[in-house]
Amino acid sequence: MKIYKITEASEYLGVSINTLKTLANNGKIKSFKTTGEHRRFREDDLDAYMGVEKEKQEKLTIIYARCSTAKQKENLERQKDRLRKHAESKGYKYMMIDEIASSDTIDKILNEIRNERTAQDKKWGEQNHDRYKWVAILTEETGEVSEAALEAEHDPEWISNYRDELIQVAAVAVAMIECLDRNQ
């Protein structure tokens, strides 16, 4: 799902930015705002306003299998086989992701996420948003991951940016959980 900035959305619809703001303010077109209060529009919502019906894409199920050491590779293969059989028995269209990851690697990644959370708190303070705003923030961050992934396809130097964006998504998810736990 593509997310448009207001200028992109106005061009997509062929209307002025002011007209688009009015349509959004009056509830004629759905929009959401980023943490910086910038308005964003989902392509599906713009298409719905224009009466365009798109073919629904088939859902893709991601299957993840993991073991901690190369010595456990046989166990990993058994996991993958069981997951593959289950997905096929349910008729899922799927993509298999597997990895051999040590706890040192996980600890390093978790520390990076923790450091990003600290940076977010320093920048914005304690954030207490409702679920929908949190989902909008997470969606925006996920969109940045998608953009970095596409850029990395054409320019391998973008891989580090892609990784940084993934850390930010994980940190936002942690912030969401912290907020949920604080407010229960």
Examine the pLDDT at 102 and tell me if it is beyond 90: no
- Does this model's pTM top 0.85? My answer is no
- Class of domain 3-50 (CATH, top level): mainly alpha
Which of 109, 93, 174 has the alpha carbon at shortest distance from 137?
174
Domain positions in the chain are 3-50, 60-101, 104-182
Return the ∠ at Cα 140 (arms to 137 and 143), rounded to 5°: 150
* pLDDT, position 68: 81
**Mean pLDDT, range 21-34, rounded to an integer:** 90
Highest mean pLDDT among 58-62, 76-80, 157-161: 76-80
Residue 36: pLDDT band by 50, 70, 90 thresholds?
confident
**Mean pLDDT, range 128-132, rounded to an integer:** 92
